[in-house]
Chains A and B, each alone.
Chain A
Amino acid sequence: MLVSLNWLKEYVDIDGVSPEELADKVTRSGIEVDNIEYVAEKSSNVVIGFVESCEKHPNADKLNLCQVDVGEEKLQIICGAPNVRQGQKVAVAKPGAVLPGNFKIKRAKLRGIESNGMICSLQELGFDEKHIAKEYAEGIFVFPNDAPVGESVEPLLNSSDAILEFDLTPNRADCLSMLGVAYEVGALLEKPVKLPSEEVTSTEEKAADYISVKVEDENLNPYYGAFVIKDVEITTSPLWMQNYLLAAGIRPINNVVDITNYVLLEYGQPLHAFDYDRLNSKEIVVRSAKQDEKLVTLDDVERTLNPENLVITNGEEPVALAGVMGGANSEVTIATKNILLEAAYFDSVSIRKTVKATGLRSEASTRYEKGIDPNRVKRAGIRACHLLEKYAGGKVLSGVVEYDVLDRSEKEVDIDTDTINNRLGTNISSDEIGNILNRLQFNFDRNEHHFKVFAPTRRGDITIFEDMLEEVARIFGYDNLPYTLPTGSATAGGLTKSQLLRRAVKSYLEGVGLLETRTYSLTSETYIQKLISNEIKDLNPEPISLAMPMSEEHKYLRLSVLPELLKSISYNLARNQYNLGYYEIGSIFITNEKELTKQPNEQLRLSGALTGKWFEHPWQMENKKVDFYVVKGIVEGLFEHLELPITFKQVQLPDMHPGRTASLWLGDKEIGFMGQLHPALEKEMDLKETYVFDINLEVVLQAHHHEPSYTQIPRYPSVTRDIAFVLDQEVHAGDVQVAIAKMGAPLVKQVNVFDLYTGENLPDGKKSVAYNLLYQDPEKTLVDEEVEKSYQEIIESVSKQFNAYVRS
């Protein structure tokens, strides 16, 4: 809502308050003022002049030589504007005047002839285009004939006006009217509101003789008032009205249309003027449109309607789309003589539906959608009649023809001082509350500390105690509320076990050098099927797609974090960032339903992607690329950190390197995978050699139950032994390791691989894997024979089990 302060002054006294101060006050009491705009920059010494004569400049085709009466004197002025004429009243910058941009007007000679001033256009007076009516967009501005010669142009041009842009929250539809704004500003400044004149001199002729009104559905249209005004003269509206409309962002058209718009802005009540003679009937019937009924609206667009749209008809055919836009067939034109003026109350939901269906949103429909004041509907019609009488020479026929089942009652809300103070944490007195209600101009009955408030119908947002609580608080001032801290029952705040563990996981991963990322949960059709972990695939998940996606790129809820994470990797590679170690914790969304009827299972995954160099120390000639074992080490370390036993099994997965992928197991539960991406996918996604991991974090967090307790530090020395086995290439070193540990238990406490060798001195297809065994007996010092016995047992067992032999 654009609020002209000069206009506002008609209803409430704001003298002595600068636009900036007022904007601040309004903002701080609940309506954000987004912008303060001045209609024109300041200029001085510009007056209204009368062009007594206007001739061609003898030495220049495009210049005119004008004699202009500016009251105290007559000035000879040369003017280049194409529209300057004898007999006009114009804006004259006298010598010594200062125009915007510090442009000083001096006496000068133009092509040999003296010019003593300048006849100005509105642009030259610093008006923004949007405050200039279109007939004056080019050339000088011409005042009406009654403009007083010699006086300053300012009052007539409204050039000193400041316009505040109110950013209204949906509950404050009352401030979609100047009167509503006046009540708000009045409350803030403690000033009364002056209501505009609704005086009408009615004729003896009765409107009822000209029109009847019928409404089919009282819920959709509880009030319809028809006024008939005869013998109007269509002309331009008064300059002040045009100025106010321009300030509010509405282009002046003619006096009749301008008056309906003016009252719309003044009262917040949409009005519509029909050309009575073009209605071709003596009745108004308000009904739902028929299926596929047609109406050409004022914007010359043919609308195809349906029964959800409410229409105004002449009994036969639609003449307006109720509350949204009039019909072209009954539009007021230059030839209009008699007017039917509509002031109606339409149901907001019905209007909203029509707006949505037609895409037509107007000043009128906006107000209907947000709710109008039932007590202002008829009054707005009368106000418009007053103005039509005054500024369009119309004769208002007596009586309003109406259909009226409108509820105009005020909501009663009980408040009391104690509860208000209790809820706000304040100590406001009952008298002060009474004073606040008076400032708001709310009627109330007071019984000591209890108030029965009659919320005015203009404030449809006030229905319950809490609404009044807010009114009292905001007029009292949020700034005046004290600062306190909760005193209620003590609560132990904190993180859940899962949240704490997630933080531990994150700090581990960051400690080993990974950067955390955040990617989108929505992915494309291409990526939704990619890199889904086996245990998720086993659930036969159905991809979940949005009903109305914004783009193909973000259409499906992800089933793996990896594709979007890999997109980030690719993004970086394209920007010459080659060495990356990323991880992310995020949800995937799993359902079996083709058509979702209940919420999907949201599972937390821990995913990572690494590429490029893992570390590099060039001058010591150290250089380590990310490989399978770098990533595996990170994963192993994580599970060691969580004290959970993880195992890795060779596996083949789509989009993964067939020989460099492992599935991850926690006991007999598959919990994810890791490995190198398939080179084909790397190529498809513009990646280089990239390794990933993807883990069901939820299962991991649930499995975690580590509560450390002290274990005696061994008092007896340990013994280590090394064995190197020659194995077939296909045999997994890890399987042998497990077998050694099993065979050696309980004396063997640790088995580690310390060497891997293939090549010279070994037969083809063989490899040598060397293990380091740690023997320890917590009860006593080990004797050689025990160790040797176990060692031999292990050799024998492994040799048999894996077709291996000891490498000497």
Chain B
Amino acid sequence: MQEQLKAIQQEALANIQEVNNLKELQAIKVSYLGKKGSLTQVLRGMGKLSPEERPIVGEVANQVRETITSAIDEKNTVLENAALEEKLQAEAIDVTLPGRPTKVGGPHLLTKVIEEIEDLFIGLGFEVREGPEVETDYFNFEALNLPKNHPARDMQDSFYITNELLLRTHTSPVQARTMKEYKGEKGFKMICPGRVYRRDTDDATHSHQFTQIEGLYVDKDVKMSDLKGVLNLFAKKMFGEDRDIRLRPSFFPFTEPSVEMDISCKVCHGNGCSVCKGTGWIEILGAGMVHPNVLEMGGYDPKVYSGFAFGMGPERIAMLKYGVNDIRQFYLNDSRFLKQFHQA
């Protein structure tokens, strides 16, 4: 009987090896291991064996069954893999054909610049404020130390609506409004982005509407060196760690001392080239220590409080940073322009 079993095993293994599809493999399985399979048939004869023979033959029979079963399983895996492989081959596509486009929108370049600056100053503890675009003469000029007959406030330069109301010429009125809100009672840091208007004829470098970001920090013991430190941080984050700043004395009615900030030219790093017109430096923004008259009109005692303020033009920053050479591009909304900057 043992020989019989060995013969079955040999025959089965030979058959399994030869088979090359799952269906036939299944048939082989049935023909050996099924209820009427040859192995099963042989095992049915076990009962006729003597009690001594039975365990010995039983062990052999089990070995044979296991060998055949595992050979079938093994072959089954091989055949399944082959079948899957074949299916996948048939499913192959041309991955170089274009995909179905997803609409990609994006922010305006100015928004991108403004939000970058906002986030930078938020990190330094500044709140972001806004103010009206139609301003009173008082907040736009008077509260900023520009009294009525001041030469710097020419009717010709501003879009007046009435004698007392105009389109704000800068975001600085928000300085005065914020101070009023804090009632001279505590220190604060704020920036204010927004649209502003001047009576300019639109050309490559002028726009009757543009944007500004105003910054104001009022507290006890604000120092000019703090202004320098904050502006330096801003310039390096905005334009690159390898850029330097320099401050030059300047004049604005609402600050004293006043400052003009330059950054080193990215092309020549301060040595002078055609980009910076040989100076090595590019003007970025105006700033200064808040004029005592402005603090006082805002309700802050200039003997106790001091502050610094700065104002910058996102258009100018965008032009310098991205090489835009015509300010009108920001307002024409040419899709070919907008799409150049909508990436993350």
Contacts and interface: CB of A to CB of B under 8 A. Distances in A.
Contacts of A474: 249, 257
A89 to B, nearest CB: 39
A550 B208 contact: yes
A512 B220 contact: no
Contact of A466 (B97, B110, B256, B259): B256
A484 B223 contact: yes
Contacts of A470: 249, 256-258
Contacts of B331: 518-520
A491 B189 contact: yes
Contacts of B333: 517-519, 565, 568, 571-572, 582
A602 B133 contact: yes
A619 B98 contact: yes
A349 B147 CA distance: 13
A486 interface: yes
A478 B186 contact: no
A172 B98 CA distance: 65
A745 interface: no
Contacts of A582: 333
Contacts of A568: 332-333
Contacts of A575: 334, 336
A599 B220 contact: no
Interface string A486-523: 11111111111001000100100111111111111110
Contacts of A598: 165
Nearest to A349: B149
B27 interface: no
Interface in B84-110: 97-98, 100-108, 110
Interface stretch (B53-61, B65-73, B114-122): B114-122
A216 interface: no
A482 interface: yes
Nearest to A578: B335
Contacts of B251: 169-172
Interface residues of B, number: 91
Contact of B246 (A423, A478, A517, A589): A478
Contacts of B256: 464, 466-467, 469-470
Contacts of B40: none
Contacts, number: 262
A341 to B, nearest CB: 29
Interface in A505-547: 506, 509-522, 544-547
B334 A596 contact: no
Nearest to A34: B277
B199 A548 contact: yes
B29 interface: no
Contact of B228 (A484, A515, A522, A587): A484
B339 interface: yes
Interface stretch (A1-9, A261-269, A609-617): A609-617
A500 to B, nearest CB: 10
B42 interface: no
A82 B125 CA distance: 76
A464 B292 contact: yes
A405 interface: no
Given A491-B187, A516-B111, A571-B333, A29 B222 contact: no
A517 B105 CA distance: 11
B283 to A, nearest CB: 9
A622 interface: yes
Interface stretch (B13-21, B74-82, B155-163): B155-163
Contacts of B133: 521, 587, 589, 602
Interface residues of A, number: 96
Contacts of A479: 246-247
B63 interface: no
Given A557-B134, A580-B335, A506 B230 contact: no
A466 B101 CA distance: 61
Contacts of B220: 488
Contact of B225 (A425, A513, A548): A425
A514 to B, nearest CB: 4
A620 interface: yes
Interface string B295-310: 0000000000010000
Contacts of B101: 615-617
Interface in A544-602: 544-550, 554, 557, 565, 568, 571-572, 575, 577, 580-582, 586-587, 589, 595-600, 602
Contact of B103 (A469, A483, A512, A548): A512
A487 B221 CA distance: 9
Contact of A422 (B136, B221, B228): B221
B233 A485 contact: yes
A13 interface: no
Given A169-B251, A425-B226, A571 B246 contact: no
Contacts of A83: none
Interface in B190-212: 195, 197, 199-201, 208-209
Contacts of A241: none
A466 B292 contact: yes
B136 to A, nearest CB: 7
A780 B342 CA distance: 50
B123 interface: yes
A580 B199 CA distance: 31
A1 to B, nearest CB: 15
Nearest to A369: B151
A466 B126 contact: no
B151 A513 contact: no
Given A516-B111, A518-B108, A622-B100, A577 B336 contact: yes
B142 interface: no
A617 B100 contact: yes
B209 A520 contact: yes
Contacts of A489: 186-187, 219
A425 B115 CA distance: 30
B152 A170 contact: yes
Interface in B244-290: 246-251, 256-260, 289
Given A424-B224, A519-B333, A547-B162, A581 B105 contact: yes
Nearest to B305: A488
Given A423-B306, A521-B133, A577-B335, A512 B105 contact: yes
Contact of B219 (A486, A547, A554): A486
Nearest to B332: A571
For A473, A515, A586, A596, the residue with the greatest tally of chain B CB atoms inside 10 Å of its CB is: A515
Given A170-B152, A602-B132, A513 B250 contact: no
Contacts of B339: 515
Contacts of B246: 28, 478-479
B217 interface: yes
A551 to B, nearest CB: 9
Contacts of A169: 250-251
B127 A482 contact: no
A493 B156 CA distance: 38
A32 interface: yes
B330 interface: yes
A596 to B, nearest CB: 5
B124 interface: yes
B338 interface: yes
B286 to A, nearest CB: 11
B135 interface: yes
A602 B121 contact: no
B123 to A, nearest CB: 7
B161 A596 contact: yes
Given A516-B106, A517-B108, A596-B161, A29 B100 contact: no
Given A469-B256, A485-B230, A572-B334, A510 B105 contact: yes
A499 B126 CA distance: 14
Please name the 8 residue pairs, one residue from A and one from B, whose CB atoms are nearest each other, closest first: A513-B103, A425-B225, A30-B249, A470-B257, A169-B251, A425-B223, A488-B219, A568-B333
Given A614-B103, A620-B100, 7 more contacts: A349-B149, A474-B249, A492-B127, A506-B107, A520-B208, A521-B167, A619-B98
5 contacts: A483-B225, A491-B126, A521-B195, A617-B100, A619-B97
